[in-house]
Amino acid sequence: MNDLRLDFPATGRNSQAICDVLSSYLTGKTGDVLEIGSGSGQHALYFANNFPLLTFWPTDIEPHHLASIDAWQTEIGLTNLRPAKSLDALRAHWGLGLKGMAPETGLAAIICINVIHISPWALAEQLLQRAAHHLGADGFLYFYGPYKRGGKHTTESNARFDLSLKAKDPAWGVRDIEEVEKIAAENGLLLRHIIEMPANNFSLVLTR
């Protein structure tokens, strides 16, 4: 593309499968949905188009991602997709990144797709802690990506992927579902559903 819009092939491939899972939890709901690590913005655009009663707030830390998100919004013009916000999820307090979002009722959902394996584990810990604080009473936290189960990779390809991630940054890596569940429980969240997804990925749904 010649403009600021980024086009991530993996995002295009998994958008419908993720949307199918989210539909069980978001259909008919109103409120605000925060996305952490929105990347190109294609997921936020897809979800906003499929769940028109909800308001989607895409966030990212990378300036070129923020520019892409806003460029997609300018091109499509969905009224329930808010401008991209810069948000460092590692910060102890998300502060201005949440200004204007569900100040009293809490968020309907927090969505985090393909993020915690390309970030330090501290980001997952911080995200689980902040989710417990910002979610509404019936809100949920959604993770998508590759995961280990019981400390073991589910496929050889995921094991190779894990090695490639650690070669780029030793703090990165495919996370263990049980470790996510443990930190979630410490913050008052319960891992309600584990859903196997295409391409050796999982959807995790956590609630209060």
Domains annotated for the chain, with CATH where assigned, are 9-207 (3.40.50.150)
- Residue 100: what pLDDT? 73
pLDDT at 61: 94
pTM (2 d.p.): 0.95
Q: What is the mean pLDDT of the chain?
A: 93
Query: Residue 194: its pLDDT value, please?
Result: 98
pLDDT at 198 > cutoff 90: yes
Q: Is the pLDDT of residue 64 over 80?
A: yes
Q: Which residues contact 65 (CB under 8 A, 6 or more apart)?
A: 6, 38, 39, 40, 41, 84
Please tell me the distance from the alpha carbon of residue 157 to that of residue 139, in angstroms, as a whole number. 33
Rounded Cα–Cα distance for residues 30 and 66 (Å)? 25
Instruction: With a cut of 80, say whether residue 2 has pLDDT above it.
Output: no
**pLDDT score recorded for residue 93:** 76
DSSP H helices in the chain:
9-26, 42-50, 63-76, 121-134, 156-168, 177-186
Report pLDDT digits (tens) over 81-110. Answer: 999 999 998 887 776 556 777 766 799 999
User: Which one is predicted more confidently, 202 or 133?
Assistant: 202
DSSP result, 74-87: HHH--TTBPPPEE-
Place of tokens 């991530």: 8
d(CA 189, CA 184): 5
Tell me the C-alpha distance between 35 and 28, whole Å: 19
pLDDT of 206 > 70? The answer is yes
Query: Could you tell me the CA-to-CA distances from 170 to 136, 149, 176 in Å, in that order?
Result: 35, 20, 16
The 10s digit of each residue's pLDDT in 152-197 is 999 999 999 999 999 999 999 999 999 999 999 999 999 999 999 9
- Phi and psi at residue 180, to the nearest 5°: -60, -45
> What is the per-residue pLDDT for 104?
67
For position 205, what pLDDT does the model report? 98
